[in-house]
Amino acid sequence: MGRCCFYAAGTLSLLLLVTSVTLLVARVFQKAVDRTIEKNIVLRNGSETFDSWKQPPLPVYTQFYFFNVTNPEEILRGEIPRLEEVGPYTYREIRNKGDIQFGDNGTTISAVSNKAYVFVRNQSVGDSKTDLIRTLNIPAVTAMEWTHQRFLREIIEALLKTYQQNVFVTHTVDHLLWGYKDEILSLIHTFKPEISPYFGLYYGKNGTNDGDYVFLTGEDNYLNFSKIVEWNGKTSLDWWTTDRCNMINGTDGDTFHPLITKDEVLYVFPSDFCRSLYITFSDFVSVEGLPAFRYTVPEEILANTSDNAGFCIPTGNCLGSGVLNVSVCKNGAPIILSFPHFYQADEKFVSAIEGMHPNKDNHETFVDINPLTGVILRAAKRFQINVYVEKLDDFIETGNIRTMVFPVMHVNESVLIDKETASRLKSVMNTTLIVTNIPYIVMALGVFFGLVFTWLACRGQRSVDEGTADERAPLIRT
């Protein structure tokens, strides 16, 4: 009986160890988990993935910070602007996909991304309907930029004098965000109907969408999950001067494909940026006890390099690193985008304005993604809206103002996974962890039976040694 146990333990130990090594080398269970995830993370009608994509469960909050102008008269005399940051004014962002239609072969899906904003008073510094902000008169500055046509210049000169419009105006936060009827734009609208008589930094963005999208479902390849292939009927943009800059790449930033590796470069297309961006791995982090890869926007995105030359409008007119001239997609309004407080921008932009304090913690854009599922655990999309201003000899309203990129407002759009969703995701993670660790469990059993085998071998040897001593003892002792 002892000999049978001895051989059984040895054989079983060897088989288990060989099996575990084979499973580890072949990655059998890891591949099975990957295939299951690839099969389930698809935009298929009725699936949990589709429902989450259609109606994102995580709360999104958008915080608006305004730069209040404290020395308007001095600025017109040529002095450095002194700005005071006022905010946040926080809004809960309600998102969902609408007008959904699946393609014939199930590999594409078309939809619009609806957004609505609800003011959250207890997370704001004041009341958006009564708090006043002094800032640039963007409609007037924009109208001045349109004066390359002599006929229009004479009309705008007359309008500015008639309505006594200045470079700086004071409005409520609500008006600056969601719109007010502007006197100059209203009259220009009669000559150019495509110009709205209303102006607001987020005018037309509350309770609306940013256009028609066609996404890939991931049915053919998990790497294509929720990638954009068409926006507003176009497969590429036509604002920039090179095909590379006009490419529409990646997702809309709400979702990413599963099984992400830290060596990957992820692409997103935020339509408000009028271009595609990419994010790169930065660090390992943990969110609500879940592992995540932190991806950030690298400094090269807005760097003044040959790769970005196609974004310089007109050709060769590059303002510098850290800013993007998007006037070409904003009806000619001299809008310049950057990161908050000119984070990652040239020092000349920071030093030109008193009140700029760029820092990584408050002004960096990042996304924390669970690499197994591609689920966003935490994110912050941060950018700043600026206006290019300069002295115009034809308009005395500009005085002796310096040529500069003038900050108006910066935005922090953030999301954080809630505890309930994190708990469900942990259950999925724990299940996959158990399955992928089966080879190690088999190996542990192999080691255990190996120890049993060793113990039996030692015990057997000891028994043999003891038996030999007895046999050698004399039968009659003297």
Distance CA 157, CA 84 (A): 31
SS3 (DSSP) at 151 = helix
Over range 187-215, report the average pLDDT.
91
| Token reading at 237 | 């943009």
Per-residue pLDDT reduced to its tens digit, 322-356: 999 999 998 889 999 999 999 999 999 999 999 99
By CB atoms closer than 10 A (0-12, 13-18, 19+), residue 114 is: middle
How does residue 36 score in pLDDT terms, banded at 50, 70 and 90? confident
Outline where DSSP puts E strands in 180-289: 180-181, 198-199, 208-216, 228-231, 265-268, 277-287
C-alpha span between 6 and 451 (Å, rounded): 11
Question: Residues near 16 by Cβ (< 8 Å), separated by ≥ 6?
Answer: 442, 443, 445, 446, 449
The mean per-residue pLDDT over the stretch 85-99 comes to 96
Three-class SS state of 332: coil
Give tens-digit pLDDT for 55-68. Answer: 998 899 999 999 99
Please write the tens of the pLDDT for every residue from 224-253.
999 999 999 999 999 999 999 999 999 999
Contacts of 321 (CB under 8 A, 6+ apart): 299, 302, 303, 304, 344, 345, 346
The whole-chain average pLDDT of the chain stands at: 86
Spatial distance between the Cα atoms of 455 and 195, rounded to a whole number of angstroms:
89
Q: Identify the band that residue 313 occupies on the pLDDT scale cut at 50, 70 and 90.
A: confident
pLDDT tier, 439 (very low <50, low <70, confident <90, very high otherwise):
low
Please tell me the distance from the alpha carbon of residue 347 to that of residue 472, in angstroms, as a whole number: 96
Residue with tokens 């197994």: 372
Q: Determine the Cα–Cα distance for residues 337 and 269; give it in Å rounded to an integer.
A: 15
DSSP-derived 3-state class of residue 67:
strand
Mean pLDDT of 265-276: 95
pLDDT at 466 over 60: no
Residues 242, 243, 246, 249, CA torsion sign: negative
Q: Please give the Cα distance from 365 to 354 (Å, whole number).
A: 23
pLDDT of residue 194: 85
